[in-house]
Amino acid sequence: MKPTTSHLALPFFDAVHRDMGQRLADWIPDQHIDETDDRQACKEWVKLLGAHQWLRYCVPAGKDGALGGALEKLDSRALVILRETLAFHSPLADFAFAMQGLGSGAITLAGTPAQQAAYLPQVASGEKIAAFALSEPNAGSDAGAMTTTATPREAGWALNGSKTWISNGDIADFYVTFAKTDPGAGTRGITAFIVDADATGLDSSEHIAVMAPHPLATLKFTHCQLAGSTQLGTLHGGFKLAMQTLDIFRASVAGAALGMARRALAEAVQFSKSRKMFGQTLADFQLTQAKLGEMAALVDAAALLTYRAAWMRDESERLGSGARITAEAAMAKMTATENAQRVIDMALQMHGGLGVKVGTKVESLYRDIRSLRIYEGATEVQQLIIGKAVLQS
């Protein structure tokens, strides 16, 4: 099924977004990867998306294009459109794409020229798989409560502790990892590091199986030795760096949810027009029309908040205003993921028994969407962020 593109005409977008979105929508329907083994499939999607230049939108171009990016800066609207279009076709393709961006985002924002040159071009080509390691068994929503420590040692650092729910865990080539460098200082005592997968003292072999399979693992650091050059950004500046990275990618999670919702709506429309019952089609019933109307409005509401957040971040970058879009990104993520869950549920219900049959698109979407309401900040965290912003305004 071909992804919808009519939203590209909205005023949030420039010619570059419209061209890119249309090209991806034309290309993606013909791309098929066997997703039975999620780890193998994810690696193959990274390779394919890299070979066809799509991963170049996960990193900036750099001087004279040296960093491999397609555009001068990380562009939130490009990320949103790409994720939406990929997720419409294959949520795993979207996952593979998104993790290249999230995993390398902190290097784009705060890496030294040497760090950027060592990682970003290979992220853009698909030669290196990226990951972002923030969550811990007892520090999920409360990211500042992490207990993994980085202690100075001769010529570098020693990392001890564990990270969990790490997407691309055990297939990544490097993990941008956040650790306490001043354990008594809360969020002001966290620093980011680039940990190569082959670092001594890193064990990523504990995989986690989830309802919509994608590569996930727990990382264990035991006196994991890191060179001084692996420090990413300023000492104790890691929490803000993590939050700035999430500001960019949370709006793109909204894009992914939107793609899944659009697909569910398209499946529901197609099914309702062809399914015969009581001498007419399912679409002829007013109950069906009312549901489709509700679904379409939920999709469009999510789309507008998502595009607004992405546009606002790009504008703030363009103007150099430094304006934070944390609350707008949170609104987009919360609304798009929650609305998508409702739209997909309604589409599944409309399919009757077929909706729960393993192998139908709405059945897999029903599982695919669920984790988006949790990762990169659960809905409840987004509510808190928005609430705080409202009180401060």
Catalytic positions are 376
Report helix, strand or coil for 226.
Answer: strand
Identity of the residue numbered 152: P
Q: How far is the CB of 143 from ligand COS (least distance, A)?
A: 4
Contact in structure between 212 and 237 (CB atoms under 8 Å)? no
Q: How far is the CB of 382 from ligand COS (least distance, A)?
A: 9
Select from 112, 138, 141, 151 the one that contacts ligand COS (CB under 6 A): 141
Q: Confirm or reject binding of residue 377 to ligand COS (CB under 6 A).
A: yes
Q: Confirm or reject binding of residue 188 to ligand COS (CB under 6 A).
A: yes
Q: Confirm or reject binding of residue 387 to ligand COS (CB under 6 A).
A: no
Which lies closer to ligand COS via its Cβ, residue 133 or residue 224?
A: 133
Determine whether 33 is exposed, middle or buried from the number of CB atoms within 10 Å of its CB (0-12, 13-18, 19+): middle
Determine whether 257 is exposed, middle or buried from the number of CB atoms within 10 Å of its CB (0-12, 13-18, 19+): buried
Q: How far is the CB of 5 from ligand COS (least distance, A)?
A: 29
Distance CA 351, CA 345 (A): 10
Q: Among the candidate windows 255-263, 278-286, 358-366, 375-383, which touches ligand COS by CB under 6 A? A: 375-383
Distances in Å between the Cα of 116 and the Cα atoms of 45, 66, 111, 127, 194 are 23, 10, 6, 15, 11
Which lies closer to ligand COS via its Cβ, residue 252 or residue 272?
A: 252
Select from 24, 81, 82, 134 the one that contacts ligand COS (CB under 6 A): 134
Contacts of 131 (CB under 8 A, 6+ apart): 99, 103, 166, 167, 168, 169, 172, 174, 175, 176
Distance CA 21, CA 18 (A): 5
List alpha helices for the chain, DSSP H: 15-27, 38-51, 76-89, 91-110, 113-125, 238-274, 286-319, 326-350, 361-370, 379-392
Which of 338, 344, 339 has its CA nearest to residue 298? Answer: 339
Cα dihedral sign, 50-52-53-54: negative
Q: Confirm or reject binding of residue 135 to ligand COS (CB under 6 A).
A: yes
Which lies closer to ligand COS via its Cβ, residue 143 or residue 192?
A: 143
Q: What angle do CA 139, 142, 145 make, to 5 degrees?
A: 60
Q: Among the candidate windows 77-85, 121-129, 136-144, 276-284, which touches ligand COS by CB under 6 A? A: 136-144
Which lies closer to ligand COS via its Cβ, residue 192 or residue 385?
A: 385
Which lies closer to ligand COS via its Cβ, residue 188 or residue 223?
A: 188
DSSP code of 3? P
Q: Confirm or reject binding of residue 144 to ligand COS (CB under 6 A).
A: yes
The H-or-E segment that residue 213 falls in is none
User: How many residues contact ligand COS, by CB under 6 A?
Assistant: 22
Q: How far is the CB of 315 from ligand COS (least distance, A)?
A: 17
218-277: which residues touch ligand COS (CB under 6 A)?
239-240, 243-244, 246-247
310-349: which residues touch ligand COS (CB under 6 A)?
324, 326
Which lies closer to ligand COS via its Cβ, residue 179 or residue 292?
A: 179
Which lies closer to ligand COS via its Cβ, residue 88 or residue 239?
A: 239
Q: Among the candidate windows 254-262, 277-285, 293-301, 369-377, which touches ligand COS by CB under 6 A? A: 369-377
Count CB-CB contacts under 10 A for residue 286: 7
Q: Confirm or reject binding of residue 138 to ligand COS (CB under 6 A).
A: no
Which residues of this protein are in contact with ligand COS, per CB under 6 A?
Answer: 134-135, 141-144, 187-188, 239-240, 243-244, 246-247, 324, 326, 375-377, 381, 384-385
